[in-house]
Structure 1
Amino acid sequence: MSARTYYTPAGGLPPQSDLLTDRAVVKLAYSFIPKGVLRDIVTSSLPGFTDARAWILARPTPSSAQTFSQLIVEIAPGGGAARPEAEAGVESVLFVTAGELTLTLEGERHVLEAGGYAFITPNAQWSLENEGSGITSFHWIRKAYEYLEGVDAPASFVTSDNDIEPVSMPDTDDVWATTRFSDASDMAHDMQVNIVTFKPGGSIPFAETHIMEHGLFVLQGKAVYRLNDDWVECEAGDYMLLRAFCPQACYAGGPEDFRYLLYKDMNRQIRLT
C-alpha cells in the first residue's frame, strides 16, 4: 500500500485567464463537484464557530442528498466552537485531513491529527478547538439518527485511519479493501463512514445499484468512476454524491492508491408513511 495522504482544499481563486469550463455537473442520479470548485467565494460561515469557514458538499435538497449533510470545515489557530451541533437527535462523524483538531467529548479531550476519526452519538456534549499553530481541516458528516425500538444509539468513539487495518473484499486479490470504523452488522448504527482503497488497476467490476446513497470524497489518487450512464475521471479533492440506486463502478489508475471517504445509510426499514 502506498503512503497515505489526505487531500485538503486550500481555497483561493483562479486567475482571470482561466477558462470557465470545468468538470462540475449536477444530474438527477448524481452530482460531481471537482476540487476546482472549492474556492473562497463558495464557503459558508457556521453559527457558533469562530475563525472558521466551510465548504458544504451535500445537504438535503431535491437535487442533492436525502439522508445526510457533508461539510469540509477549516478552522484557523485559536478558532473553534463551544457547541458545534445545535440540532437535537443528530449524529456526526469527523474526519481530519490536515492540522490538529482538539475534540472535547463528554468532558474528555482528544487531539485528532490527519487521519483522525470520531463518531459522535446524537445529543452528546462536545466542542471543537484548533489549539495548533496551523490551519486544521476536517470533514463533518451529519445525519438525523433513526432510533430503533429496544436498541440504544451507538456510543461515541475516537480512532484513526492509522489504527485500523483495511479488510480486503472477497475474491479481489487484495486490490480492493475497506477501512471500517464501525461494525456494519451492529443494528445500532444507521450509517457508516468508511475509507475505500483500490490499488492501481483495481476495480469495482460490476455496476453496483443499491438502496444506499453515497457521499464520496477522494482523499488520494485518481480513477475513472462510473456514475449512472457516464464515466467520469476523478482525482484527489473531487466529490461525488450518488443518489439511491445510481449505478456505480470504478477503475483505479496509478501510480498511487486510490482512496476515498465514503458515507452510506444502512440497517433501517424503508419508511412508507
Structure 2
Amino acid sequence: MKTSLHNRIFSSLALALAAFLSVLVLFPAFSHAVSMPTISFGVENATNPEQVSTGLQVLFLLTILSIAPAILLMTTCFTRIVIVLGFVRQAMGTQNMPPTQIIIGLALFLSFFIMAPTLNKINEEALQPYLNEEINQNDALSKAVEPMRDFMFSQVKESDLSMLSDITMNNEPFDKNDIPTMTLIPAFMLSELKRSFQMGFMIYVPFLVIDMIVASILMSMGMMMLPPVIISMPFKLLLFVLVDGWALIVGSLLKSFQG
C-alpha cells in the first residue's frame, strides 16, 4: 500500500512536470492563436464535499508545481550536466567565469534536449489523451511514469540499484517492474553522481598537468614568490580554446546518455 502511494505521488509529479515542460516547448506555437486567460483566487466557505475536494486538488497541484525543480534534479539528466560544467569552471580556475546563471541555463536547455524524446512520449501517451478526455486520471498517471522509469533504468548502474533494492525490499525483484519508483530514484541519482565525478576527474587531468609544468618552470627559475596560477591561467584558456573545449564537453555529455 505504501509503495503504491509512493508510485501514485511520483506519477502525479511526472505528469505535472510533463505538462509544465510541454507548455514551455509549445508556448510559441499557440500563443498567437489562443488568448491567455486570467486567474483569480478567492476564499469562500465550502457548502458541500465537492468544493472541499476541489480545494484540496488545487492545493495539491500548487504543491507539485512548487517542487518541480526538485523533480528536475531527481529524475532527469540535469544533475550530471550541471556537475560536469561546474568541474570545467573549477579546473580552468576562472572563478565565476562563466557565471553560475550561464552554467545552470546551459545545463537546463541541454536537459530539455536530452529529455525531449521522453517528454514527447509522456505528452503523446499520457497528457494529451488525458486533456482530450480519452483516458482517466489513473491511466494517465500510469502512462506518464513509465517513460521516466525507462529513462532512469537506462542510466542507473546495476550495483547502485542492487544495493538500494537489498536495503528497501524484502524480496529480490525478478525484473524492473518489481522495483518501486522510490527505490529507483535514489539509485539513479547515485549513479549520476558517480558518472559526473568520473567525468570531472578526466577534465581535471590536462589542466593539472599545465599547473604542474608551470610550477616546475617557475621553481627552476627561482621565481617561487610568483603564484603559478597567474601564469598557467592564460595557457589553460588557450588550450581550452584550441581544442574547442565547450564542444568536446557538451558532445561527451550528450554521448554519455546514449550508452
Q: Kindly indicate whether structure 1 or structure 2 has the higher relative contact order, using CA contacts under 8 Å at least 6 residues apart.
A: 2
Higher helix proportion (structure 1 or 2): 2
- TM-score normalized by structure 1? 0.22
Q: Which has the greater radius of gyration?
A: 2
Higher strand proportion (structure 1 or 2): 1
